[in-house]
């Protein structure tokens, strides 16, 4: 197949630092190519994903409010779709693109719901017509509220490329954004209650993130609770791999938590609140603990160092690999394409009917 991928215009693929959606798109693009498919990517100009690209005029950085972002995305989508006339299928990871690209304008269109089906985004997904919407967790799918879904596909990562950590750094770790829903304050409180060191790596760029950090997190910093800045991919994995646990006290129903599968891939157990997708990722008592409240989270942090790190790595490899993610997407693409679908591994052979 020849597949067009459209990434949001604001962050390069892969991201230089924080950017979960862009990380997933990068892994999907590379994985599809490894599986024998062709990929055409529309992404920000700074992108370095090693596939053919179109577009690339957007600057890095968000446009601001949702309405401004939608205008930027719409311009990006119009340019991107115009350059994808010869692909078999378009997988659009923006919001505005699937709203703009309505049938019968051409190829099948897939979109992944990277955000929640809430009061802001839910009506937009319900307004899409003729677009296959993919959820990224069963919990998210259960909240779709009238959005017809084509399936649930968990995110994946290249587990074999993630270095295994020994967890001997003597500290717990936190990754995310400096925002209330990610729970950095709760992470600091749990670590202080447990009496264990905590190293926090988090995105801290936007004014609201700075305001929250100054008011809610900075007062909790001390010799044992340290903010180490926003880290790149390799530095992030090293930080988590050296920690005895990742603490991820989400304060909202996050559709999927990439930081949790990244931690598991390093062999590090995850201590999280049982919100959103967390119960689909963390096996309580095996690869981490799911607890609510500062004291239960603190107790779980103390117990996490006793868990089997090889079980964490094995769970990531078995359930959250890029290969599994790509295979599920390919099956979905084949189901959406009319007529027989060629097998890219059998060059010159007759087409194989889609299942």
Tell me the mean pLDDT in the region 150-174.
97
Q: What percent of the chain has pLDDT over 90?
A: 76
Is the predicted pLDDT of residue 236 greater than 90, yes or no? Answer: yes
Which DSSP string do the residues of 218-245 spell out, in sequence order? GGG--SSEEEEE---HHHHHHHHHHSSE
Higher pLDDT, 64 or 167: 167
On whether both 295 and 209 belong to a single domain, the answer is yes
Q: Taking the complete model, does pTM exceed 0.75, yes or no?
A: yes
Q: Looking at the domain assignment, is residue 36 inside a domain?
A: yes
- Which CATH number belongs to the domain containing residue 235 in this structure? 3.40.50.2000
Tell me the mean pLDDT in the region 169-184.
96
Is the predicted pLDDT of residue 261 greater than 60, yes or no? Answer: yes
What is the pLDDT at residue 344? 43
On whether both 198 and 304 belong to a single domain, the answer is yes
pLDDT, tens only, 265-324? 999 999 999 999 999 999 999 999 999 999 999 999 999 999 999 999 999 999 999 999
Least confident range from 17-26, 146-155, 239-248, 340-349: namely 340-349
d(CA 217, CA 227): 9
d(CA 113, CA 121): 9
Parent domain of 328: 2-156+321-336
Banded model confidence at residue 78, pLDDT cuts 50, 70, 90: confident
Q: Looking at the domain assignment, is residue 355 inside a domain?
A: no
On whether both 195 and 282 belong to a single domain, the answer is yes
On whether both 34 and 90 belong to a single domain, the answer is yes
d(CA 110, CA 132): 5
On whether both 213 and 105 belong to a single domain, the answer is no
Q: Looking at the domain assignment, is residue 350 inside a domain?
A: no
Question: By CB neighbour count within 10 A (0-12 exposed, 13-18 middle, 19+ buried), where does 167 fall?
Answer: buried
On whether both 261 and 308 belong to a single domain, the answer is yes
In the chain, how many domains are there? Answer: 2
Q: Looking at the domain assignment, is residue 305 inside a domain?
A: yes
Tell me the mean pLDDT in the region 42-46.
91
Banded model confidence at residue 56, pLDDT cuts 50, 70, 90: low
On whether both 22 and 171 belong to a single domain, the answer is no
Banded model confidence at residue 13, pLDDT cuts 50, 70, 90: very high
For the chain, where are the E strands, in sequence order? 2-6, 38-42, 53-54, 89-92, 109-112, 131-135, 149-152, 172-177, 198-203, 225-229, 245-248, 270-272, 288-290
């Amino acid at each position: 197949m020849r597949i067009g991928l459209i990434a949001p215009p604001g962050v390069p693929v892969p991201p230089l630092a924080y950017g979960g959606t862009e990380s997933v798109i990068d892994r999907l693009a590379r994985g599809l190519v490894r599986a024998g498919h062709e990929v055409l990517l529309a992404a920000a100009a700074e992108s370095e994903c090693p596939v053919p690209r179109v577009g690339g005029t957007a600057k890095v950085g968000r446009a601001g409010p949702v309405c401004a972002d939608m205008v930027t995305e719409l311009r990006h989508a119009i340019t991107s779709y115009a350059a994808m006339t010869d692909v078999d299928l378009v997988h659009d990871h923006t919001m505005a693109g699937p709203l703009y690209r309505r049938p019968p304008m051409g190829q099948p269109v897939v979109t992944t719901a990277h955000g929640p089906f809430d009061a802001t985004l839910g009506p937009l997904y319900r307004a899409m017509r003729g677009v296959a919407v993919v959820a990224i967790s069963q919990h998210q799918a259960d909240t779709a509220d009238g959005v017809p879904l084509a399936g649930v596909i968990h995110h994946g990562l290249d587990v074999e490329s993630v270095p295994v950590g020994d967890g001997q750094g003597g500290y717990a770790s936190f990754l995310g954004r400096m925002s209330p829903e990610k729970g950095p304050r709760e992470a600091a409180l749990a670590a202080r209650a447990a009496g264990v060191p905590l190293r926090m790596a988090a995105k801290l760029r936007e004014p609201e993130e700075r305001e929250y950090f100054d008011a809610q997190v900075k007062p909790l910093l001390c010799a044992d609770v340290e903010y180490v800045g926003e880290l790149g991919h390799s530095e992030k994995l090293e930080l988590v791999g050296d920690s005895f646990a990742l603490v991820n006290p989400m304060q909202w129903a996050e559709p999927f938590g990439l930081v949790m599968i990244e931690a598991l891939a390093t062999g590090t157990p995850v201590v999280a609140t049982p919100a959103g997708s967390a119960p689909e990722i963390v096996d309580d008592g095996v690869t981490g603990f799911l607890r609510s409240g500062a004291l239960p989270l603190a107790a779980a942090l103390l117990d996490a160092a006793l868990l089997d790190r090889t079980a964490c790595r094995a769970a990531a490899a078995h359930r959250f690999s890029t290969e599994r993610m790509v295979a599920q997407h390919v099956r979905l693409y084949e189901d959406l394409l009319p007529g027989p679908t060629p097998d890219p591994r059998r060059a010159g052979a007759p087409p194989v009917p889609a299942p």
